[in-house]
Amino acid sequence: MTRLSLRVVEERFRVDGTFTISRGSRTEIRVVTVELRDGTICGRGECVPYQRYGETVEGVIETIQSLEQDLSNGLDRIGLVTRLPAGAARNAIDCAFWDLEAKRSGTVAWKLAGLSAPAQLSTAYTLSLGDPDSMRNAAARNAHRPLLKIKLGSDRDVERIEAVRSGAPRSTLIVDANEGWTIEQYLDLAPHLVRLGVAMVEQPLPADSDEALRGISRPLPICADESCHDRHSLKFLAGKYDAINIKLDKTGGLTEALELRRDALEAGFDVMVGCMLGTSLAMAPAFLVAQGARYVDLDAPLLLAEDREIPVQYNGSLMEPPSRSLWG
């Protein structure tokens, strides 16, 4: 039996400017970092507690600390699934387990997961919510990027997309309403957004109201975000969504994220792999899940003014495989 020591801390990182969605704005992020130590070997994981799911930094830290004795008594990654529900706390511990296992074995995490060697990825770049002029200017500054993700979810959304399209005429656009629309707004906006070259919308309706999507014509494909957490979500999504957004803070870690990806593809969903606004330590395990995904949205470090000491390397929108010195 392996006895592990636990360290869990809150860390803060500055955002580059202000990041705004329909739920509010932020100028810094608060993340929870977990370290699992087996003697001199240390595995790390990161999570971003999300108030939308009833999570707080303080509550997540308390939940993780409650497992300290169990970890000392031999709790492992497989047993973790039965101890904590899907969510941020389990994600940080699960990813720390993967990092620890890779370091213990001297084998890279992707081999431990039975995956092929990860390749460079092209990620979306997110434009936060603002007035049409500011979003046009932001789009023009990023018009070289092949995929832009646009935060919407309030009035003047068509104006915003028209402004973005004028600023970035050649980029593919996807939009994220963050549960900010009604079914009537989706049906009204969809033809306009398709005309403007939008390829997909994330979570237009609140998760508890998305039954209205079932069976309707979807000229603008719809991706489940807040409505999709883990494999158990899939049975509720058929007939309402065309794609799912996998985020490790929702699935409860890399272990479940890989299973969710497999089951979603078998069920005929397109897959998007996204993230909360976190650091490179959170992007590293998500990078493995994102291999082969239809859409990749792992741009959070590009939106920060400061990152981990060993960051993921980006060349424009191209994301390099993370260094093992960072994770895995």
Q: So which residues are the catalytic ones?
A: 151, 247
99, 45 Cβ separation under 8 angstroms: yes
Strands 24-38 and 5-21: antiparallel
Q: What's the token pair of residue 111?
A: 């081999």
Q: What's the token pair of residue 235?
A: 């049975």
Order of strands, edge to edge, in the sheet holding 314-315?
A: 121-122, 318-319, 314-315
Three-state SS sequence of the chain: CCCCEEEEEEEEEEEEEEEEECCEEEEEEEEEEEEEEECCEEEEEEECCCHHHCCCHHHHHHHHHCCHHHHHCCCCHHHHHHHCCCCHHHHHHHHHHHHHHHHHHCCCHHHHCCCCCCCCEECCEEECCCCHHHHHHHHHHCCCCCEEEEECCCCCHHHHHHHHHHHCCCCEEEEECCCCCCHHHHHHHHHHHHHCCEEEEECCCCHHHHHHHCCCCCCCCEEECCCCCCHHHHHHCCCCCCEEEECHHHHCCHHHHHHHHHHHHHCCCEEEECCCCCCHHHHHHHHHHCCCCCEECCCHHHHECCCCCCCCCEECCEECCCCCCCCC
